């Protein structure tokens, strides 16, 4: 059985960012569009709209990136590459043989004070590899519920998920 090797995107970040949101790996739809959270069933941009009071959903990808930076939010993934157990899958449960992005180096010359990870699997990997480093630097790392439509069992409504993100991001 051959596994599909996939690669992540470049980070959206600048020196003024105070918050870093990390996913695991881009979905199939995101890879097709070459931009984060491109699957229309994913609730990430709806959540950003609710939290930051801007219409992220009505923006093109360049405008979304600019709006994130304007709100001092960086966006990246925990993994730089991985293999997918099933070709064409976007499920974290299919992620294998992960290479990690160098998040400590990425955040060195920024104002990042909080890191939010939107995948349980990626959060566990991140804390195992980098948790002590960020503890030393006084940067809080928080697990957020996935914005994926696959997470609709726990958060049946978009508002319930938005409320949970708002609570955890305070």
* pLDDT, tens digit, 9 for 90 and up, residues 106-164: 999 999 999 999 988 889 999 999 999 999 999 999 999 999 877 677 888 999 999 99
Least confident of 19-23, 89-93, 109-113, 163-167: 89-93
Q: Which of 39-43, 75-79, 95-99, 112-116 has the lowest mean pLDDT?
A: 95-99
Find the catalytic residue in 42, 60, 109, 151: 42
Label the pairing between strands 19-23 and 95-100: unpaired
More confident residue, 99 or 9: 9
Name the DSSP class of 12: B
Percentage of the chain lying above the pLDDT 70 cut: 89
Q: What is the pTM of this model?
A: 0.91
DSSP-H helix ranges across the chain? 28-33, 44-52, 61-70, 103-107, 120-136, 158-169
Residue 83 has pLDDT above 60, yes or no: yes
The Cα–Cα gap between 170 and 157 comes to 21
How far is the C-alpha of 138 from the C-alpha of 143, rounded, in Å? Answer: 16
The more confident residue out of 89 and 153 is 153
Question: Which domains are assigned to the chain?
Answer: 4-169 (3.40.470.10)
pLDDT value at residue 149: 78
Provide CB contacts within 8 A for 164, sequence distance 6+.
144, 145, 155
Specify whether 60 is catalytic: no
Instruction: Inform me whether the pLDDT recorded for 15 exceeds 70.
Output: yes
Query: Which whole number is the average pLDDT over 77-81?
Result: 88
Task: Name the band, by pLDDT with cuts 50, 70 and 90, for residue 52.
Answer: very high
């Amino acid at each position: 059985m051959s596994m599909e090797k996939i690669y992540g995107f470049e980070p959206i970040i600048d020196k003024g960012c105070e918050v870093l949101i990390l996913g695991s790996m881009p979905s199939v739809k995101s890879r097709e569009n070459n931009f984060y959270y491109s699957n229309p069933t994913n609730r990430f941009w709806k959540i950003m709209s609710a939290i930051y009071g801007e219409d992220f959903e009505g923006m093109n990808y360049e405008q979304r990136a600019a709006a994130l930076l304007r709100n001092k939010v960086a966006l990246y993934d925990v993994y730089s590459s991985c293999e997918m157990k099933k070709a064409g899958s976007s499920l974290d449960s299919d992620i294998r043989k992960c290479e990690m992005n160098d998040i400590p180096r990425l955040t060195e010359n920024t104002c990042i004070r909080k890191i939010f990870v939107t995948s349980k699997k990626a959060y566990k990997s991140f804390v195992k590899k980098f948790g002590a480093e960020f503890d030393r630097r006084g940067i809080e790392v928080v697990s957020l519920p996935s914005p994926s439509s696959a997470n609709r069992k726990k958060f049946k409504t978009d508002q319930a998920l938005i409320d949970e993100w708002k609570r955890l991001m305070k």
